[in-house]
Structure 1
Amino acid sequence: MKLYLAGPMTGLSKLNLRAFHEEAARLRAMGYEIANPVEFNVDRNAGWQACMRVDIPELVKCDGVRMLGDWESSPDATLERHIAMKLGMKVEYARQMMV
């Protein structure tokens, strides 16, 4: 199963990269294939539209979405969840705090 990671980044210390990397590593160790936006959006200065133009095509290639902690505070993660749900994809919720 391939999961897309969605969670808050904008305005957080170091874009919350640690939480994304840790969840990706944990899920990969369990045998999941992971689409981690921090791995394919490498230009940290790219604008929102540029990032979402990369993220959304990657999202729709997945079987489901894994929502990181505090996803509700992120308009981006909320949008990604909405897309996944409308497409009938599985949505899972991580029980982790932001770092």
Structure 2
Amino acid sequence: MKRIYLSGPMTNMLDLNFPLFHATAASLRAAGHTVITPSELNPEPGTWSECLRRDIAALMESDTVATLLGWQDSRGASLEVHIGKALGMKVVNVQDLIEPQKS
């Protein structure tokens, strides 16, 4: 079982993109994964810096960074992916975990 950190855009997104984070986390949990999501770490708005500090601390407890659509356009998600890669974590598109490609 993988411990997956969800990374994606939140700032300037409708409802901070919480619906997508919650739905994706539910799908991954149904597949048996342990999931950490910024939407659950930061249910109340805080400063960007406060939220990112909590997020990075949780990222350190993960094996895999799973990216949501649009992560490249997010300053925070880009940092999370960079940190994950620098530390040798697996970085994948979340769709590859939800809908594994058929060989």
TM over 0.5: yes
1:3 is matched with: 4
How many equivalent residue pairs?
94
Residue correspondence of structure 1 range 54-65 to structure 2 within 5 A: 54-65=54-65
Q: Which structure 2 residue ranges, 5 or more long, are not aligned?
A: 96-103
- Alignment of 1:79 onto 2:76: no
Tell me how far apart the structure 2 counterparts of residues 15 and 57 of structure 1 sit (CA, whole Å).
20
Cα distance, 1:94 vs structure 2: 2.5
Pairwise CA RMSD: 0.8
Percent of pairs identical after alignment? 43
Q: If the length of structure 1 is used for normalisation, what is the TM-score?
A: 0.91
2:24 is matched with: 23
1:69 is matched with: 69
Q: Residue 14 of structure 1: SS of its match in structure 2?
A: helix
Structure number with greater Rg is 2
Cα distance, 1:88 vs structure 2: 0.1
Q: Which runs of 4+ in 1 moved over 2 A?
A: none
Question: 2:71 is aligned with what amino acid?
Answer: W
Q: If the length of structure 2 is used for normalisation, what is the TM-score?
A: 0.88
2:93 is matched with: 93
Deviations 1:17-38 (A, max 9, x none): 1110011000000000000111
Q: Residue 9 of structure 2: SS of its match in structure 1?
A: coil
